[in-house]
Amino acid sequence: MSSSTDFVKRKSIDVYFKKYFGILLLILLTVIFWFIFKVISPNNFGTPGRLLSYFQSSLIYAVGGCGLYFIVAMGLWDFSIGANLVLSSILACYFSQHYGYLGLILAPIVSGTLIGLLNGIVYINFHIPSMIVTVGLSLIYESLSVFATQGQEQILGPNYRAFGTYPYNVILAICAFVFVSLVIKYTKMGTYMYAIGSNEYLAKNMGVDVNKFKVLSYVLCGFLVGIMSILNISYGTSMTAASGMSSMSMNFTPLMGTFFGMSFRKYGTPVIAIIIGEFIISLIFNGFVAIGAPTTIQNVVTGIALLLIVTITTKPVRGIVVK
């Protein structure tokens, strides 16, 4: 009896150690990147005011990264995030003019969720790889944004920009993070998401309705992109329709945060990893801006840093379900 109690205690200590080790590792990475750019550019980078600005902008991408996490954890892709963001932001501008904050909040959430639902239904019924489905659908979403605006820039009214500033942006983002954490930790969706991502055929043989949960993952992703749209249009205050796959570049910053979440999920902290990961990415981007580096060099170094972090921290083990 006592050996069994000792085993449970040791197991609990191991879980807490791994959890806090992951968080400490992320904080250490943050400090390292901050220190490097602070030494290179002490006057233009890393002051408390600028760090708060970096953090607030990173929250926007962290919400989108949390949405993508449901997709990527199942081994799927969604390259329509950028087009979804553009269309939902445009609808937020339009409906805010007629219904105020109610339109600003509901329009992008409904739009984002419906787009996610459509992505999931098309992917399941057409039996096409998720990457191809979402790239093809993103062209349609871009066309809808052009049709809706007739090429005119949409500007959010100055009376409806509260979610672009502290503390309302932080409050909305925290609500999204708590929602994602609860879904991952305490629902069937969280368990089955990892089971499907680890071994889809085994999950199906165990009775999991794989198609249903894949569609649900796209719906959740779209829902969070809707929230991301509220933060994005409130922060940027304007949105122009996309065309010719120009929205594709908007997919990658939230996707990089998702990679952090995937890498650190073994520590049981995917959402925290996404938040801090996006902050690290924001530090790197702004660090290069502070030292006046060309955009091409910024992209090269950022990509290399991301690959190194993911390579060092990822040790995939098949057949394991981690919550």
- Please report the DSSP string for 167-187 in residue order: THHHHHHHHHHHHHHHHHHHS
Please tell me the number of Cα atoms within 13 Å of 48 on its side-chain side: 0
pLDDT of residue 265: 84
pLDDT of residue 322: 46
* Separation CA 292–CA 236 (nearest Å): 23
> How many other CB atoms sit within 10 Å of the CB of residue 319?
8
Instruction: Single out the residue of 281, 264, 282 nearest to residue 273, CA to CA.
Output: 264
Which residues have a Cβ under 8 Å from the Cβ of 28 and sit 6 or more positions away? none
pLDDT of residue 309: 65
pLDDT of residue 248: 87
pLDDT of residue 9: 62
In the numeric block, which tokens belong to residue 240? Answer: 């122009």
pLDDT of residue 44: 83
Helix count and strand count (H, E) for the chain: 12, 2
Do 108 and 88 meet the contact criterion of CB atoms below 8 Å apart? yes
pLDDT of residue 269: 82
Please tell me the number of Cα atoms within 13 Å of 53 on its side-chain side: 10
Intervals of the chain under pLDDT 70: 1-19, 297-298, 302, 305-306, 309-323
pLDDT of residue 105: 96
pLDDT tens digits for range 128-146: 889 899 999 999 999 999 9
pLDDT tens digits for range 63-107: 999 999 999 999 898 999 999 999 999 999 999 999 999 999 999
* Separation CA 220–CA 124 (nearest Å): 16
pLDDT of residue 170: 94
From the centroid of its chain, how far is CA 105? Answer: 19
